[in-house]
Amino acid sequence: NAGVTQTPKFQVLKTGQSMTLQCAQDMNHEYMSWYRQDPGMGLRLIHYSVGAGITDQGEVPNGYNVSRSTTEDFPLRLLSAAPSQTSVYFCASTQGLAGVNEQFFGPGTRLTVL
Amino acid sequence: AQTVTQSQPEMSVQEAETVTLSCTYDTSESDYYLFWYKQPPSRQMILVIRQEAYKQQNATENRFSVNFQKAAKSFSLKISDSQLGDAAMYFCAYGENNNDMRFGAGTRLTVKP
């Protein structure tokens, strides 16, 4: 199993550009999430999905869109990049079993917005 | 919203010795889960340990153990016989469901040979 994969690993954008960060998992997990990691702030939840066709906002959703057309894929779209979106982005997935379960993380995407 | 606080931005330990990383959290719930994740320089997040709040017994995983004090809302991680490979950022996390995990700011652990 590849686990959770993310592309690209690095990206540089200019202010106002749009792009999509890709995320895929091959573990048949129901739950998928996007986080951003900023120095001194840990990981903050952007959007999450509890299954195909179902998404919802997390703690810091502004400026981002998501969709979940299949169980495997959960892309994150930046609509109009801003310097404040410079960060490391992590996608994660977890099983929808009882309780709160281990999150499996992708390798992250380092995004710089100039 | 629940908050997770890690009061030690940086810690260091001598190889083979023991170190304890602190974590406190704020909640009014009685049923929740707590986690410690490790992030080495590779950036990959790895689960270290998981604790269910309704379980009195502290979780252990080999050299890693926790001191869970529910009333004090404290969840510290003890690393015994520290190894060079333990050097990493450590994040404490709180969750009531799989939708909304809250992470602390992290503690950077250095292991000195």
**B29-80 pLDDT tens trace:** 999 999 999 999 999 999 999 999 998 899 999 999 999 999 999 999 999 9
- Record the tokens describing residue B7, joined without a space: 């009061």
Nearest residue in chain B measured CA to CA from A88:
B43
> In the prediction, which pLDDT does A9 show?
95
Out of A31, A42, A56, closest to residue B91 by CB = A42
> Do the beta carbons of residue A99 and residue B50 sit within 8 Å?
no
**Residue numbers in A near B98 (CB within 8 A):** 31, 50, 94-96, 100-101
Nearest-CA neighbor of A108 among A86, A92, A84?
Answer: A92
Cα A87 from Cα A112, distance rounded (Å): 7
Q: Determine the Cα–Cα distance for residues B76 and B21; give it in Å rounded to an integer.
A: 5
Cβ partners under 8 Å of residue B84, min gap 6: B15, B111, B113
pLDDT tens sequence across B21-33: 999 999 999 999 9
Interatomic CA distance for residues B76 and B20, integer angstroms:
7
Backbone angles phi, psi at B86, to 5 degrees: -80, -10
Q: Does residue B1 surpass a pLDDT of 70?
A: no
Give contacts of A88 with chain B, Cβ < 8 Å: 43
| Predicted pLDDT at A41 | 85
Interchain pair A42, B105: CB under 8 A = yes
Q: What's the farthest any 2 CA atoms get from each other in chain A?
A: 43
Residue A62 DSSP SS3: coil
- By Cβ distance, the residue of B9, B91, B98 closest to A100 is B98
Give the residue ranges of chain A where pLDDT is below 70: none
